Amino acid sequence: MGKFVIKTVKTGVRFNLLATNGQVIGTSEIYKADASCLNGIDSVRRCSAGGIEDLTVEPVEKVKHPKFEVYVDKAGEYRFRLKARNGEIILASEGYKEKKSCLNGIESVKKNAPEAEIVREA
């Protein structure tokens, strides 16, 4: 089972969603308070069943929020971001060289996020 790892950073608090193998699947924004960070985790759990909107193909088939958006970054790598019902980005991935790996990352969020335990990094 995956886990959410909460970490305090200089400017606030953030979380990473880790897969069962310990790899980072996605990272949150930086929150000012623990309560906001925990709300972010709850939002990822609720929204992880969202559809996938692939921005790398034309025409783009629009998907309602919550949704995962797949896109190519400036370095030419595939990434995804999970958007909540209000359109805010609540989780962002690292870059992937292949689109298939990016889509596997989304499947990992869908599989791990709903039941992932929450731990605090020391």
Encode pLDDT of 42-71 as tens digits.
999 999 999 999 999 999 999 999 999 999
Q: Which domains does the chain have, with CATH numbers?
A: 3-120 (2.30.29.80)
Encode pLDDT of 33-49 as tens digits.
999 999 999 999 999 99
pLDDT higher than 90, residue 86: yes
- Report pLDDT for 1: 82
User: pTM of the entire structure?
Assistant: 0.92
Mean pLDDT over each residue of the chain, to the nearest integer: 95
Give DSSP secondary structure letters for the chain. Answer: --EEEEEEETTEEEEEEE-TTS-EEEE---BSSHHHHHHHHHHHHHHTT-EEEETTSSS----PSSEEEEEE-TTS-EEEEEE-TTS-EEEE---BSSHHHHHHHHHHHHHHGGG-EEEE--
